[in-house]
Structure 1
Amino acid sequence: MQHRTVGDLMTWPVVHVRTDASFKAVAEALAGNDITAVPVVDDIGHPVGVVSEADLVRKVAQHPDPAGPTRLPEPRDRLAGERVTVEELMTAPAVCARPEWSIVEAARLMVTEGIKRLPVVDEADRLVGIVSRSDLLRVFLRRDDALREEISGDVLIRTLGLAPTDMTVEVDAGQVTVEGLVDDEHLVPVIERLCLGVDGVVSVHMDVSRRSDDTHAFDRRD
């Protein structure tokens, strides 16, 4: 089985900005490329943060409300004309992925960190791409017949050495049902795990019996 990696799914070249970019330059980069966030890199291309529409809106929300009461400036207020840079607005440090990572690794990091995208860096920590949640979900657009063929041929026959007549595989909207017979009941969770590892599989239902006792079935649902 060949699994898609972050490097297969990431976007490259990457729209990015430098740490000294202005508020307007970031807004133009987002609007001009129809994106919602960009990595921020230093002078040698290392990601140091990410700046998003939400970061820009947060800054705008700090402005005085034209419809509200006029107030005197406080000592901590920015002086008129003082330049706002992306370094003050970005979320840092940048949480990054590697091109060789699996989809599962990237997805787990996004969930753990509560973020929508990951800059991708090479061995020297230079920016080489960006991967988003929608990029990772592209693997679930695979056709059911492609999933069935990979599970039947690669997983059951070539990897596990099972006879084609021993197993049947049905796939409906990425949900897999495996039925058949095995000589060893301990093979059931192995089959399930390998099926779940196929790119595009949403869930696996195992309805598999041990050959020596066809009346005993191991029924597992995820």
Structure 2
Amino acid sequence: MRHRRIDELMTREVVSVLGDAPFKEIVRILSQHRVTALPVVDAENRVVGVVSEGDLMRKTADRTATPGEVPGVPGLEAWERAKAEGTRAEELMSAPAVCARPDWTVAEAARLMEVQGIKRLVVVDDEDRLVGIVSRRDLLGVFLRKDDDIRREIVEDVLGDTLRLDPALLTVDVREGRVDLTGKLPLRSMIPAVERMCATVDGVVSVSSTRLAHDTDDTERGGGRS
């Protein structure tokens, strides 16, 4: 069973800025390329941080108020205040950048995004050089796989190669990524294992095993027939 890797989904043509890029240049690049964040790199193309619209908005939110206007945002932490006063990418960016490797799976990248609460991951090589960027939208692309491709992978890779089951034991129906398993397995304990393995196939939305039967119930002492 083969999981899609980040290097198959990521955007390779990534716009980045150097640490000394001025505020207005960053804004222009974000607007021109219609992106919401830019990796910040050093002279060797190594990623040192990420500057986003959110980082830049701190300056707008904390502008000194003129008479009669609402005052700047109170209670900012020292690091937030420093960002609000920054004028270059290296002063405005969030660092260190949250990065992924090209050989990571979709599941690994999605898990890190969820833990970090971010919408994108900078992709770097073994020397931390920028090679791409992957977004939530990119990861969701695995759910665009055709149902026939998902079914073929379940039958050949999951049931045949991984679980060593006779594919004739089960009927696999896939519609809009929803997998429905029908048939009979030798042991009752095999049903949740088959369900879990099918669920790990890229593009699967859900798995139903309610119509799976078994010959022997090995989950109870002494066993029994279905």
Question: Which interval holds the TM-score relative to the shorter structure?
Answer: 0.7 to 0.9
SS of the aligned residue for 2:143 comes to helix
What residue is the counterpart of 1:45 in the other structure? 45
1:97 equivalent among 87, 90, 100: 100
Q: Show the 5 A alignment for 1:186-201.
A: 186-201=189-204
1:172 paired with 2:175, answer yes
| 44-53 vs 99-108, which moves further | 44-53
Change beyond 3 A, Cα 1:47–1:102: same
For 2:122 and 2:6, locate their aligned partners in 1 and report how far apart those are by CA, in whole Å: 10
For 1:32 and 1:215, locate their aligned partners in 2 and report how far apart those are by CA, in whole Å: 67
Partner AA of 2:4 in structure 1: R
For 1:70 and 1:158, locate their aligned partners in 2 and report how far apart those are by CA, in whole Å: 66
Please say if residues 179 and 206 of structure 1, whose CA atoms lie closer than 8 Å, have aligned partners that are also in contact. Answer: yes
The CA deviation string for residues 22-46 of structure 1, in whole angstroms up to 9 with x for no partner, is 1111111111111111111122222
Cα deviation for residue 64 of structure 1 reads 3.6
Cα deviation for residue 69 of structure 1 reads 4.5
Change beyond 3 A, Cα 1:174–1:215: farther
Cα deviation for residue 160 of structure 1 reads 2.5
Runs (5+) with no aligned partner, structure 2: 72-80, 218-223
Partner AA of 1:95 in structure 2: V
1:145 equivalent among 143, 148, 152: 148
The CA deviation string for residues 163-204 of structure 1, in whole angstroms up to 9 with x for no partner, is 233101122221211121111333223212221121101121
Please say if residues 22 and 83 of structure 1, whose CA atoms lie closer than 8 Å, have aligned partners that are also in contact. Answer: no
SS of the aligned residue for 1:162 comes to coil
What residue is the counterpart of 2:61 in the other structure? 61
For 1:177 and 1:83, locate their aligned partners in 2 and report how far apart those are by CA, in whole Å: 55
TM-score, normalised by the number of residues in structure 1 = 0.84
Q: Show the 5 A alignment for 1:73-222.
A: 84-207=87-210, 208-212=212-216, 216=226
SS of the aligned residue for 1:211 comes to strand
Cα deviation for residue 88 of structure 1 reads 1.7
Please say if residues 20 and 87 of structure 1, whose CA atoms lie closer than 8 Å, have aligned partners that are also in contact. Answer: yes
| 135-144 vs 201-210, which moves further | 201-210
Please say if residues 21 and 86 of structure 1, whose CA atoms lie closer than 8 Å, have aligned partners that are also in contact. Answer: yes
The CA deviation string for residues 122-160 of structure 1, in whole angstroms up to 9 with x for no partner, is 111111111111111100111222212221222223333
Change beyond 3 A, Cα 1:164–1:36: same
Q: How many percent of aligned residue pairs carry the same amino acid?
A: 52
Please say if residues 40 and 47 of structure 1, whose CA atoms lie closer than 8 Å, have aligned partners that are also in contact. Answer: yes
What residue is the counterpart of 1:219 in the other structure? none
For 2:54 and 2:173, locate their aligned partners in 1 and report how far apart those are by CA, in whole Å: 43
TM-score, normalised by the number of residues in structure 2 = 0.83
For 1:95 and 1:23, locate their aligned partners in 2 and report how far apart those are by CA, in whole Å: 22
For 1:145 and 1:135, locate their aligned partners in 2 and report how far apart those are by CA, in whole Å: 21
Count of residue pairs brought into register by the alignment: 208
Runs (5+) with no aligned partner, structure 1: 72-77, 217-222
